[in-house]
A = this chain, B = another copy of it.
Amino acid sequence: MRLTKFSDYALRVLLYAASCDGRRLVTIEDTATLYGISRAHLKKVVRLLIREGYLEGMRGRTGGFRLALPPERINIGRVLRSTEPDFEMVECFSAENACRLSRPCRLPRLINEGLAAMIAVFDAHTLADILVEPRHFVGEPLLPLPRRGPSLPPSGGDG
């Protein structure tokens, strides 16, 4: 189970824009270099974030973008609702559902309960809660950690 790259990039674009807030505009170019990701993909991400009112775009040679709202008004759950194409965790959540058990089945309720628990965590946080200090965005790149997670509890037990 993964978030889309689109969501991952969107959150990182917002983090970077927040780190520059009030000092300078951010460009696609800078962001692509900073994170080592494709400009084409980032363009789509930035376009959506502008359309959704999270970023403000400035055209022209010296253009770029910046946060359109203070970080404490950018709710992470709401951002992910815009950037994830869907939350169709199982087939019966989708329009192509062909499962004959759909009506009596109790699986969708359980899956929805899990999904709601996750989204509640994201809904309880804003960009302000996860800001990275501006100094970490400049200078020599830090070596990335090979991986950070995920950190699931070791097992679900026997029952």
Contacts and interface: CB of A to CB of B under 8 A. Distances in A.
Each complex incorporates copies of this chain amounting to 2
Interface string A84-109: 10111111111101111111111111
Contacts of A121: 110, 113-114, 117
Nearest to A106: B130
Interface stretch (A20-28, A42-50, A55-63, A138-146): A138-146
Contacts of A113: 121
A109 to B, nearest CB: 8
Interface in A1-40: 1-5, 8, 11-12, 15, 34-36
A63 B122 CA distance: 47
Interface residues of A, number: 87
A41 interface: no
Contacts of A8: 89-91
A81 B148 contact: no
A122 B156 contact: yes
A139 B7 CA distance: 43
The 9 closest A-B pairs by CB, nearest first: A77-B156, A78-B156, A75-B156, A118-B118, A114-B121, A117-B117, A123-B156, A100-B141, A87-B150
5 contacts: A35-B99, A110-B121, A112-B150, A123-B153, A128-B159
Given A2-B86, A34-B100, 7 more contacts: A1-B84, A3-B89, A12-B101, A73-B159, A106-B130, A106-B131, A123-B153
